[in-house]
Amino acid sequence: MPSKNHDLTSNSPVPAAPQAVPTMRPNALVTCLASSMLCSSFAIARVLDPFIFGSFVGNSATYSVASELGFFVQQGLNVTLSPIPNSTFGYATLLDGGYDLLVGTVDNVVNMRFNSEKPFTVVGQLDLGPDLVIAGAPGVNSILDLKGKALMVDSPTSGYAAVVQKVLAFNGLQLGTDYTFQQVGGTATRFELLRNGTLADGTPTFGTLLTYPFKTHPPHHLTPAVQASTASPPIPILARVSDFVAPFFSNALTIRSQDADPSSSPTSPLVRAIAALLAANRFLADPDNKDCAVRAIAKDNAISRELAEQEYASATNPVSGETSQVDFDASRLGLLNVIDIRMLVDGFTGAGPSFDFVDAIQPGPGLLLDLRIRDAALKLVKEVKSGSCPLPK
């Protein structure tokens, strides 16, 4: 059977997006306008092009740096961050043109493209799974403590549920024999129920996978390990996914396949947005910029310096962070690990038993991994002097 790794850019049906509109947040213009380091007078004087950035991961460290240090404005963009409430809404809205760029798990894209031939294209890899953890309720202190218990998941057939199965299998626990799944909802809901120790009906909770990011109150976008360790009482971390599955391609820069060819508009808002993110990611990766990056993360998320330092450490983790791949290159092994784990839950029934995954993940024009936008953006990257920072101390 063919791999279905063919060009999906032509006349694919587009589902109507739901009508609800998430809260949107414009990027910081003040920092750029106050600083001559990043923003030329031309960039300040020109009318900024609007750009809608849909994101499951909220204010990632790369986004925080791009927003707070003016990389978006430097590229002539007025970026609005639009948090995505759920996958159905997010990807339908992207196809409908409601987002210019979406950041979400590559597992979603692989599922929809390979099973249903949905016209989504990945133009780069943002991270390799920042601090994904299996956490326990207070009093559950090890993976083996989960034997005979039910673990909360968003869906028993999701890629992340398969991650839980993989990690627990390494510890000798098998789904259906040693533990079960209870379908509950999103990460924020599961976190609160885990902290409370019971579901609304009084059923005890024991453990779950915490994925990045999720909101607490106040609405911080923090990595699971940081939120678990700062909860009151602290949530026990039973296992880090990166200790068992690595590399693990997590969040992807995703667009509509019809927008993947930059040849007719090599300086389009999309290309410039990726250029801004590339510059921000390079800035984040430079150890000499740590202090400035931490301040940008703290300001953008309205969190303390201490928490921002933990976020910075997670973002720059060489195994799972946002700077683990150069210039958003995609980890082939990381993507194969995502596919392998989804196979555990029969996650490719639509693709068929003879589907050629190796062929399907080769990068190229019109394919799942199409890096032409990223390559065009590399020519527009505007970097700053190492160690420079426009933010006040």
Q: What is the pLDDT of residues 219-267, one digit of tens each?
A: 344 555 555 555 556 789 999 999 999 999 999 999 999 999 999 999 9
Q: Phi-psi category of 326—alpha, beta or left, where left has phi over 0 and alpha has psi -120 to 50?
A: beta
pLDDT above 70: residue 3: no
Sign of the alpha-carbon torsion through 344, 111, 237, 149: negative
Radius of gyration of the chain from Cα atoms?
21
Give the residue from 56, 58, 93, 62 showing the smallest Cα distance to 275: 62
State the amino acid at position 285 in one-letter form: A
Give the residue from 243, 56, 241, 247 showing the smallest Cα distance to 163: 241
> What per-residue confidence (pLDDT) applies to 96?
97
pLDDT more than 70, % of the chain: 83
CB contact at 8 A, 56 and 154: no
Upstream peptide bond of 218 is cis (omega within 30 degrees of 0)? yes
Q: Collapsing DSSP states into helix, strand and coil, what is residue 80? A: strand
The span from the CA of 381 to the CA of 267, in Å, is 11
In the chain, the N- to C-terminal Cα span, in Å, equals 59
pLDDT above 50: residue 339: yes
Give the residue from 72, 19, 93, 43 showing the smallest Cα distance to 300: 72
Average pLDDT over residues 135-155: 93
pLDDT above 60: residue 36: no
The span from the CA of 252 to the CA of 322, in Å, is 11
Residues 6+ apart with CB under 8 A from 21: none
Q: For the chain, how are helix, strand and coil distributed in percent, rounded to 5? A: 40, 15, 45
> For the chain, where do the domains classified as CATH 3.40.190.10 start and end?
49-129+248-379
Give the residue from 38, 37, 82, 59 showing the smallest Cα distance to 296: 59
The span from the CA of 325 to the CA of 312, in Å, is 16
Residue with structure tokens 């290159």? 329
> What per-residue confidence (pLDDT) applies to 278?
98
From the candidate CATH numbers 3.30.230.10, 3.40.190.10, 3.40.50.720, 3.60.15.10, the one assigned to the domain spanning 49-129+248-379: 3.40.190.10
Q: Collapsing DSSP states into helix, strand and coil, what is residue 52? A: strand
Give the residue from 284, 162, 166, 304 showing the smallest Cα distance to 226: 304
Query: Using alpha carbons only, what angle is made at residue 216 by residues 214 and 218, rounded to the nearest 5 degrees?
Result: 130
Give the residue from 69, 36, 74, 64 showing the smallest Cα distance to 311: 64
Q: In the beta sheet, which residues pair with residue 121?
A: 255
Backbone φ and ψ for 157, nearest 5 degrees, come out as -110, 10
H or E element in which residue 82 lies: strand 77-83
CATH topology of domain 132-243: D-Maltodextrin-Binding Protein; domain 2 (3.40.190)
CB contact at 8 A, 157 and 345: yes
pLDDT band at residue 30 using 50, 70 and 90 as cut-offs? very low
CB contact at 8 A, 106 and 122: yes
Q: In the beta sheet, which residues pair with residue 183?
A: 153
User: Model confidence over 61-107: pLDDT tens digits?
Assistant: 999 999 999 999 999 999 999 988 888 899 999 999 999 999 999 99
pLDDT above 90: residue 322: yes
Residues 6+ apart with CB under 8 A from 25: 80, 81, 82, 83
Residue with structure tokens 């009093």? 139
| pTM attached to this predicted model | 0.84
The span from the CA of 302 to the CA of 220, in Å, is 7
